[in-house]
Amino acid sequence: MNFENLKYETREGIAFVTVNRPEKLNALNARTLEELVSVFSHIDGDEAVRATILTGAGEKAFVAGADIAELAALTALNGAEGARRGQGVFGAIEQSPKPTIAAINGYALGGGCELALACTLRLASENAKIGLPEVSLGIIPGYGGTQRLSRLVGQARAAEMILTGDPIDAATAERIGLVNRVVPRDRLLPEAEALAKRILTRGPRAVAAAIEAIRHGLDMPLAQGLEHEAVLFGALAATRDMHEGLQAC
């Protein structure tokens, strides 16, 4: 697949997606969002791909935010439409039945932070800086940041990050649960790939069901979430994957 602002390749069941605008610190513009929709649609439909690693080109940034030129042209009407469009893109990433690992290799600010939040798992290099600085521009996060960050790290920590706009370093992100772990810069992609390969050794239907149970359960009352888990568990009990897994024990 050929893209203007993304690099895409696959190896051993893993898709590697790189936001490739290093001269703009990989800032998200409309074209990049369109290409993210396209590439994740392709990934979801490709049976040979079972996990995705998402990162940014260069040594400075994962994604440093939205494109400033496009932000400057916003009005009340097209601003709301733009936010919904970005939410749709990141929602599609979050809804994928295949795990997506964000390899945060530098600045993940604004839309970059929101993109990482939409992924299933997050690894960060030691130099990573993560934040939602939108209030300093007179706006708020619009691609899901106010909702996903609160669910991930709790309302109080999310409110402090959003209301001050101050970024946090990788160690703080790990401490509050925003990222799964921090690794040396030169080990970021190898560690992300090793994590993806560990997941690939598990039953693909079970992985997809676990992602669904976790994702949807967060938005359900506990009793409803437990019932959803039970239904998914029952559906898996009849699969070949379960019986093969039991035989391997």
Query: Looking at the annotation, which residues are catalytic?
Result: 114, 134
Q: What is the residue-wise DSSP string for 167-214? A: -EEHHHHHHTTSSSEEE-GGGHHHHHHHHHHHHHTS-HHHHHHHHHHH
Give me 168's structure tokens.
């946090």
At 122 the three-state DSSP class reads strand
Handedness of CA 78, 130, 94, 105 (dihedral sign): positive
Bridge partners of 169, per DSSP, are: 129
- Measured between its terminal Cα atoms, the distance across the chain in Å is 40
Interatomic CA distance for residues 210 and 47, integer angstroms? 18
> Which residues, other chains included, contact 115 with Cβ-Cβ below 8 Å and sequence gap of 6+?
28, 54, 62, 63, 90, 93, 102, 108, 143
At 165 the three-state DSSP class reads coil
DSSP state of 105: -
